[in-house]
Copies of this chain bind each other. A is one copy, B any other.
């Protein structure tokens, strides 16, 4: 007997919300060698909920129910559990106090609806929610454990990982653990990555591709009886893949492109400043998404207008007129000047046409220049021809700039 996951909610059943909790939990459970046998989705309907609980109790050793724990009328998980269990809903003063404290610490007043969130079946044990007000609960029926958790992913995930998974791991029979590992690349298309890896013989490791714009991710899947055995298989596969992809491979451990780059900047004590036009601050925002980024990120400017480029970055008005704002001359001056102004090691300048308007035959939407200046090693720029929607061009442009920094750090000796 295995695990069943029950996702609840009218929004899910009407196709308005894509349920991602099941996929996330199934992946995590599988990686621990725990099999998910069934997944059921059901609307906020008490009869349907109770009927699903009954079916699950007969075919699963543990049942995870997500959603329906909110303060509103269409949140029916607790009352359905109570009827299924024949165990009355009772008010839990301690949980209510905790909910009220959490709300007050955020400057919010508890109201009548929050009392509903402190009602649990008498036979159940509560599960703390450290993020929000929807506490969970659990109980056992005829040898099957039921866990009720909130549906909001940022509340569901920590509660599942911290308070449910350890119990499942100790209570359930485990199979040979199936493990997967994600590798991330930037700068090559999906078919080019596949072509480069097509001849590789990976021993007992399956390889899958996923386009995660603007990156291409690789999923390695293998199984084994012990962690060292699995790790050994991954290790030799990654060596082979890395040999083919070189610097295009930026992460083998779930790191984002900005995390991989920040790690190098911190390690090599290199500082950076940014001057952005078409990316509008996205490059700086991504570089400062990492805790401790003040150690390498000194300052940024967003010079949208030509006037701003001239006033803030002393870009030559003559060059702006002659070459245009989207040119190698201008981004190199932006990069140089922002580096000098801030006293950083590296300066980045970006200018381009994010669209949908503003394109010309000579410089269509997606034309982007990135300038790179280093205090000792001079300045250069690259021209890119991206395609896509406005936010895609912003995203891939900022990724390309971060990747330039990453590659510089890798090769800086």
Instruction: Give the interface of A toward B (CB within 8 A).
Output: 10-20, 22-30, 35-43, 48, 51-52, 55, 59, 70-72, 74, 103, 105-109, 111-114, 133, 152, 154, 178, 180, 189-192, 194-195, 198, 206, 208-211, 213, 219, 221, 274, 276, 279-285, 287-289, 291-294, 297-305, 308, 311-312, 341-342, 355-357, 385, 387, 390-391, 394
Contact = CB atoms under 8 A, between A and B. Distances in A.
A291 B154 CA distance: 31
Given A37-B43, A291-B356, A281 B308 contact: no
B304 A299 contact: yes
23 contacts: A10-B206, A14-B26, A14-B27, A15-B24, A15-B26, A17-B210, A18-B20, A35-B43, A106-B387, A108-B189, A108-B191, A111-B191, A111-B192, A112-B195, A280-B289, A281-B282, A281-B284, A284-B302, A289-B391, A289-B394, A293-B304, A294-B305, A300-B304
Contact of A280 (B213, B279, B284, B312): B284
Given A14-B30, A108-B189, 20 more contacts: A11-B210, A14-B36, A14-B221, A15-B36, A16-B208, A38-B48, A38-B52, A70-B209, A105-B385, A276-B281, A280-B287, A280-B288, A281-B288, A293-B304, A297-B304, A298-B305, A299-B304, A299-B305, A300-B300, A300-B301
B301 A299 contact: yes
Given A59-B51, A385-B106, A36 B16 contact: no
> What is the count of identical protomers in the complex?
2
Contacts of A355: 291
Contacts of A206: 10
Contacts of A385: 105-107
A20 B59 CA distance: 25
Nearest to A109: B192
Nearest to A290: B390
A300 B288 contact: no
Nearest to A17: B210
Given A293-B280, A301-B300, A308-B298, A23 B27 contact: no
B299 A303 contact: yes
